[in-house]
Structure 1
């Protein structure tokens, strides 16, 4: 993934930096600044002045609203594909917002306005790392399709978590299997509980919109 390199080793710090540097510009600027377009998939090392485009519209297939209702907690998220300009390169990216309720505590960012252009500083979710078409290890029941990875940010604790998503159908219900997890760098010495207000677990979310 272009903005979260080495995410499996430094997820927390990189994800926070990711959300701090997201900047967006009008699409008309692509032709003026970025003269080279390359696929977002298998992008490899980031090159200057390149537009990494979702050529196969993989991210489009994950747009929409998803919901998980208990037991233990309630979680909802809404995802939207946008064009993002990040310093010296640009890319297509899936951004989002969420609501999380547990033990009477309601953390709600669903009123955030995900503005694609010209500037968006409200996104709590960002995904642009596209994995090959296969069943991911975190979900053997998922469809053998391309799946995505990125990060989710909790402003309350100022921490981020890795977010992985793969398409899955349970009965007749379409949705995604979601795996939120913290890497070692996201847990500080002396912390005995999960130091983040997010559902750090693996669960199915139904697509509701």
Structure 2
């Protein structure tokens, strides 16, 4: 009987060791270590409140629409896994649609980082990009890819209340486009890099 109990405990301990480690997405120490098979999980559901459809309307001819969704256990290459916010957007200026990537939400892609918006770095007051955050506030730092040019941007997403309505305030900071000598300059981004406040629908 003791022998059977010893074998059972040995098998159980080996199977526990074989499981991939799970870390909270806020655990930056383990994120830096880049551990094969690790799962960076949104243990405290910090990403959930950011989900939704948000709209900024400058006037009846100009609209900025963003749809954000939380994705669970996404993997870029099977090396590691993570929970993250992904999104797509539409931008209309003076009645002209400059970019619309919303249809990409309907396309399955195992690598959720291929979406136009992605991120899961939780930042708080004092973090770069969160200098004017409120104490205890959690914001997301991520990235944005322009759907009509090769520009990429740093993106900060903050939650707030505007006139009693849930909203997000985003900051878009376009990175400088690179040009090749003798080639035409890269196209400009579809919209201006600045702050936008979008109301949840």
Q: With CA pairs under 8 Å and 6+ residues apart, which has the higher RCO, 1 or 2?
A: 1
TM-score, L = length of structure 2? 0.73
State the Cα deviation string for residues 152-192 of structure 1 (Å, max 9, x = none).
11132122111111111122121111101123x44659999
Which of 11, 18, 22 is equivalent to 1:37? 22
* TM-aligned CA distance change 1:67 to 1:91, over 3 Å: same
Q: Give me the whole-angstrom Cα distance separating, in 2, the residues matched to 1:121 and 1:203.
A: 23
2:57 is the alignment partner of 1:69:
yes
Counterpart position of 2:190: 197
- Shift, 1:50, TM fit: 0.4
Unaligned stretches of 5+ in structure 1?
1-30
Between 40-49 and 187-196, report the one with greater CA deviation.
Answer: 187-196
When the two chains are superposed, the root-mean-square deviation of aligned CA atoms in Å is: 3.3
Which of 89, 97, 117 is equivalent to 2:88? 97
Aligned residues between the structures = 176
Q: Give me the whole-angstrom Cα distance separating, in 1, the residues matched to 2:35 and 2:192.
A: 35
2:52 is the alignment partner of 1:85:
no
- Shift, 1:104, TM fit: 3.5
* TM-aligned CA distance change 1:120 to 1:136, over 3 Å: closer
- Shift, 1:105, TM fit: 2.6
TM-score, L = length of structure 1? 0.70
- Shift, 1:126, TM fit: 0.5
Question: In structure 2, the residue corresponding to 1:113 is in which secondary structure?
Answer: helix
2:42 is the alignment partner of 1:50:
no
Counterpart position of 2:4: none
Q: Give me the whole-angstrom Cα distance separating, in 1, the residues matched to 2:108 and 2:21.
A: 22
Counterpart position of 1:3: none
